[in-house]
């Protein structure tokens, strides 16, 4: 609701929310939110009169694609994760095309509808050549230190932040520098702690907009394993330690990460083990030059740089 208007596009919100897997009072309001969202979605589709509708698996995709399908408007489902979400699984039955980022998705969707396209990513990371020096200056980093980039998403990830806090002195003492996006939920807390830490090479940011420069300066990346993060990192081609969030439906971040780990394209560190083990994991990886090279080479093999164009081609087929 923030990023779309910032990009210059109008957006309409629906009151729909997720159905909790456990018994909770929030679920009592779900039917009312669903009915209200369906009514709004029908009105949006009627007013906008689309030639095709795309759903990417969020809660709002459900009512909108349902309305479009009932009006016999072509629909395309884009599944970003290696484990399909409930919304997409329900909508796929009547969808005209299903674009996926991982192989072996026939267990969730009709095989005749599946197109392996990958996930769209920002264009500025497609070519990082010549950006390292610019990035070092931009972030105020030292050229003679190995850089660990820690990214927990725009909102932040508590485990990643706590893991860095625990090991930040040891990381600096070992000759590393850390470029750390902690997220807006945790920025004030992390900043207050860091101000008393007397560290010169731990660089805290609430949010990094220039991710192409951050990727360019990184020698190693520590990240959650959300679908778009994983897709971006495959294009970057740097060694990655994935710390999947355990607080997601069907543990899909672990499944995303394992799709890369199984191809020797990334390293997995469990969320429950991250605090206290991050430094040793970084050391083990950075001290093995052959492993660093292999991880970078293997993760790049899984990249799909033309994903956005491939999805548009499938959309054009539906419209024509």
Residue 228 marked ligand-binding: yes
pLDDT digits (tens, 9 = 90+) for 89-131: 999 999 999 999 999 999 999 999 999 999 999 889 989 999 9
User: Binding residue per annotation — 196?
Assistant: no
271 and 136 belong to one structural domain = yes
Residues 131 and 275 in one domain: yes
pLDDT value at position 146?
A: 98
pLDDT at residue 108 in the model: 96
232 and 165 belong to one structural domain:
yes
* Residue 218: predicted pLDDT: 98
- Residue 315 and residue 292 in one domain: no
Residue-wise pLDDT tens digits, 155-172: 679 999 999 999 999 999
- Domain match, 168 and 292 both: yes
Q: Is the domain of 36 the same as that of 136?
A: no
Q: pLDDT value at position 250?
A: 83
Residue 314 is assigned to a ligand binding site: no
> Shortest CA distance to 120 belongs to which of 230, 274, 253?
230
**Which pair of structure tokens corresponds to residue 294?**
């292999």
pLDDT of residue 170: 97
pTM: 0.88
97 shares its domain with 149: no
229 is annotated as contributing to ligand binding: yes
Tell me how many domains the chain contains. 2
Find out whether 154 is annotated in a ligand binding site. yes
**Mean pLDDT value across residues 221-246:** 96
Q: How far apart are CA 123 and CA 307, in angstroms?
A: 11
Count of positions (residues) in the chain: 320
Look at residue 19 in the predicted model and tell me its pLDDT: 64
| Average confidence (pLDDT) over 122-143 | 95
- Same domain for 103 and 135, yes or no, is no
- Among candidate residues 121, 288, 265, 109, the one with its CA nearest the CA of residue 257: 265
Structure tokens at 277: 């083990």
Model pLDDT for residues 11-61, shown as the tens digit of each residue: 999 998 766 656 667 777 888 889 999 999 999 999 999 999 999 988 889
Binding site annotation covers 287? no
Q: Show the tokens assigned to 165.
A: 């806090």
Residue pair 254/244 in contact by the 8 Å Cβ criterion: yes
Residues paired with residue 204 on neighbouring β-strands, in sequence order: 180
Any binding-site annotation on 88? no
Residue 77 annotated as binding?
A: no
pLDDT in tens, 259-314: 999 999 999 999 999 999 999 999 999 999 999 999 999 999 999 999 999 999 99
Q: For residue 151, give the H/E element and its range.
A: strand 146-151
Predicted local confidence at residue 3, as pLDDT: 83
**Do residues 189 and 285 share a domain?**
yes
Q: Are residues 76 and 180 in the same domain?
A: no
Do 313 and 211 sit in the same domain of this protein?
no
In the block, residue with structure tokens 């992390």:
190
Residue 187: name the closest of 207, 168, 214, 163 by CA. Answer: 207
The boundaries of the domain holding residue 255 are 124-301
Q: Would the annotation count 225 as a binding residue?
A: no
- Residue 174 shares a structural domain with residue 87: no
CATH code at 256?
A: 3.40.50.2000
What per-residue confidence (pLDDT) applies to 153?
A: 72
């Amino acid at each position: 609701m923030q990023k779309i208007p910032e990009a210059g596009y109008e957006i309409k919100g629906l009151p729909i929310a997720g159905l909790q897997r456990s018994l909770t009072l929030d679920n009592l309001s779900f039917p009312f939110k669903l009915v209200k969202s369906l009514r709004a979605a029908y009105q949006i589709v009627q007013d906008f009169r689309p030639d095709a509708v795309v759903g990417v698996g969020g809660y709002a995709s459900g009512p909108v694609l349902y309305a479009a399908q009932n009006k016999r408007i072509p629909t395309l489902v884009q599944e970003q994760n290696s484990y399909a979400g409930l919304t997409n699984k329900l909508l796929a039955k009547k969808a005209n095309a299903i674009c996926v980022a991982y192989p072996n998705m026939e267990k969730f969707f009709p095989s005749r509808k599946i197109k392996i396209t990958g996930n769209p990513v920002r264009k500025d990371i497609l070519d990082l050549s010549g950006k390292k020096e610019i990035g070092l200056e931009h972030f105020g980093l030292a050229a003679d230190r190995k850089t660990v980039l820690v990214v927990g998403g725009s909102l932040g990830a508590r485990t990643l932040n706590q893991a860095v806090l625990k090991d930040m002195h040891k990381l600096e003492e070992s000759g590393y520098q850390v470029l750390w996006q902690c997220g807006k939920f945790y920025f004030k807390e992390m900043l207050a702690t860091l101000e008393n830490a007397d560290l010169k090479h731990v660089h805290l940011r609430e949010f990094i907009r220039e991710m192409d420069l951050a990727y360019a300066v990184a020698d190693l990346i520590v990240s959650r394993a959300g679908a778009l993060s994983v897709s971006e990192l495959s294009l970057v081609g740097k060694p990655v330690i994935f710390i999947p969030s355990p607080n997601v439906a069907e543990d899909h971040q672990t499944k995303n990460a394992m799709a890369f780990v199984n191809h020797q394209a990334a390293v997995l560190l469990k969320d429950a083990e991250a605090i206290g083990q991050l430094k040793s994991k970084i050391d083990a990886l950075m001290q093995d030059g052959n492993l660093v090279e292999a991880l970078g080479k293997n993760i790049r093999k899984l990249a799909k740089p033309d994903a956005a164009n491939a999805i548009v081609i499938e959309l054009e087929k539906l419209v024509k």
